[in-house]
Amino acid sequence: MGLLGVRTGSREAVAQSLPALFASADDPYGCHVSTFGGGQFLDLAELTDDERVLRQEAHRIAVDVLRPAAWSLDRMTPMERISPGSPFFTAMATLKSLGYHRLFLPPEAGGPDERLSALTQSVVLEELGWGSLGLATAFLVDMLPVMCISNFGSQELKDDLMVPWVDDETGSYHGCWAITEPDHGSDFISVRDSESSTYGRAQLVAERVDGGWVLRGQKSAWVSSGPIATHAAVHAQAGGDGDLVHSLFAVVDLDQPGVRRGPPADMMGVRDDPQGEIFFDGVAVPERNVLVPPGPLYPAFQDQLLCLTSSVISNVAVGVARAAFEEALHHARTRIQGGGPLSRHKNIQLTLYAMFERVETARAYSRAALAHTQANLPGASEQAAGASPRHARTAQVFAKRTAYEVANDALQVVGAQGLSRDALVEKLFRDARSLLIEDGTLEVLALDAARDLIDNYERTDYDFEEMMATW
């Protein structure tokens, strides 16, 4: 085990475990994948030596594992992506064999001996996003059930499910986050909407039975990793009431009678993480798997969970933006056109400057938002004051918009070559465009932040008890 709990496998060792990805020493990916940047740039953060090594390791994983796997997956049919031997499984297994799934957990849940700082988490998330938005998404939704069990689960559930999941180094466990439904997308993300009591009946309903609950219904076709997940973190409405308060949050074993999956979706972007429907035809959920029961805790929990997902995905989006910026920079320096490099043109210089300005600003704000969220999630410490929804949502909106604008500019700098399926910027543009919808649309996240700032701007804390009382 290396620094900070991540196994620092040599490139050769990683290569040996990835025969499908490492075709030969000369052409290790078996395809063209840009590695420009090399993780070399001036980061204004003060990192310790350990943190610097971890960043290098994460970048190497992004270069050696994530980008080549993502490149192959992007070109496959939806069914090929989820078939045995797909680079998706190899990439996930590699992350697990190197211990990345433990990196963000507290020590008592099997994480590093000393909890990773929020800054280090941001650095690693940015590298994963730089490597592949889809595989970074798969990595994050895999962690979600375990993180929630570590905070809300009983000791029995921790022993029976969390411990083997955390110990797994082959990818036997894989999580997903099943929240949206065919008739409920944005409305399940904008928890602060005063109209939430009129959302109507959900399409996944939980019925009370002896010893637990039974799930009937379905989740949307957009559940990331839905087609392959072994377990889902599920939101389900209890009793059919249209109010958010009457919902529960549970971790559900997907390898049991009554679970069916729809075909994997064929999406424009984020094709490296399979998405698909999950149907629940009378699926039993024992009481111990219900982490948050129906009641005022549920909306407060969902609000704070969304603060975490928002501030995490914003750091991943910064990685996507940096990847696009680096592709444009490389191209502007090396493309000879009209007798000289593109970078001699003033408009190209100003575009590169504007891209750099946005990436740097998004990075600074995303890191600040994640640090505040991590420090203030209920239970994080005795001083935890509740994570700030307006800041978390704003970080997400800003970073996603940055990723899209920077990818769009990168395409313009690269010109026709950037529109070719052989160019990384073409994939980055499709991924960045999808980000404007993934995990909440920009408009809905912004409206959620606006409601919070109008109601709470002068507040510096989000008392959890009070929050529960208001719902």
Ligand X SMILES: Cc1cc2nc3c(=O)[nH]c(=O)nc-3n(C[C@H](O)[C@H](O)[C@H](O)COP(=O)(O)OP(=O)(O)OC[C@H]3O[C@@H](n4cnc5c(N)ncnc54)[C@H](O)[C@@H]3O)c2cc1C
Q: Contact positions toward ligand X, by CB under 6 A?
A: 141, 177-180, 185-186, 189-190, 219-220, 222-224, 270, 275, 434, 437-441, 443-444, 447
Q: Using the minimum distance from each CB to ligand X, give the nearer residue, 224 or 304.
A: 224
Cβ at position 198, least distance to ligand X in Å: 11
Q: Using the minimum distance from each CB to ligand X, give the nearer residue, 14 or 135.
A: 135
Q: Using the minimum distance from each CB to ligand X, give the nearer residue, 29 or 301.
A: 301
Distance CA 189, CA 191 (A): 6
Using CB positions, name the residue nearest to ligand X. Answer: 185
Cβ at position 307, least distance to ligand X in Å: 16
Cβ at position 112, least distance to ligand X in Å: 26
Strand partners, 113: none
Cβ at position 188, least distance to ligand X in Å: 7
Write the CB contacts of 451 (distance below 8 Å, at least 6 apart in sequence). Answer: 192, 193
Q: Using the minimum distance from each CB to ligand X, give the nearer residue, 97 or 310.
A: 310
Q: Using the minimum distance from each CB to ligand X, give the nearer residue, 305 or 444.
A: 444
Cβ at position 224, least distance to ligand X in Å: 3
Cβ at position 465, least distance to ligand X in Å: 28
Distance CA 420, CA 412 (A): 13
Structure tokens at 317: 């989006």
Strand partners, 290: 250
Cα 469 to chain centroid, rounded: 30
Burial of 113 from C-beta contacts in 10 A (0-12 / 13-18 / 19+): exposed
Question: Which residue, among 179, 162, 189, has the nearest Cα to 236 in the 3D structure?
Answer: 179
Cβ at position 141, least distance to ligand X in Å: 5
Q: Using the minimum distance from each CB to ligand X, give the nearer residue, 186 or 343.
A: 186
Write the CB contacts of 156 (distance below 8 Å, at least 6 apart in sequence). Answer: 288
Q: Using the minimum distance from each CB to ligand X, give the nearer residue, 233 or 414.
A: 233
Q: Using the minimum distance from each CB to ligand X, give the nearer residue, 418 or 440.
A: 440
- Strands 336-337 and 231-238 come out as unpaired
Q: Using the minimum distance from each CB to ligand X, give the nearer residue, 123 or 228.
A: 228
Q: Using the minimum distance from each CB to ligand X, give the nearer residue, 110 or 134.
A: 134
DSSP codes joined into one string, 263-315: PPP--SS-TTS-B--EEEEEEEEEGGGEEE-SSTHHHHHHHHHHHHHHHHHHH
Cβ at position 68, least distance to ligand X in Å: 21
DSSP codes joined into one string, 215-235: EEEE--TT-BTTTT-SEEEEE
Distance CA 329, CA 349 (A): 9
Task: Judge contact between 243 and 221, C-beta under 8 A.
Answer: no
Residue 220 carries which side chain, given as an amino acid letter? Answer: S
Cβ at position 267, least distance to ligand X in Å: 7
Cβ at position 408, least distance to ligand X in Å: 18
The H or E element containing residue 208 is strand 204-209
Token match 């310790």: residue?
48
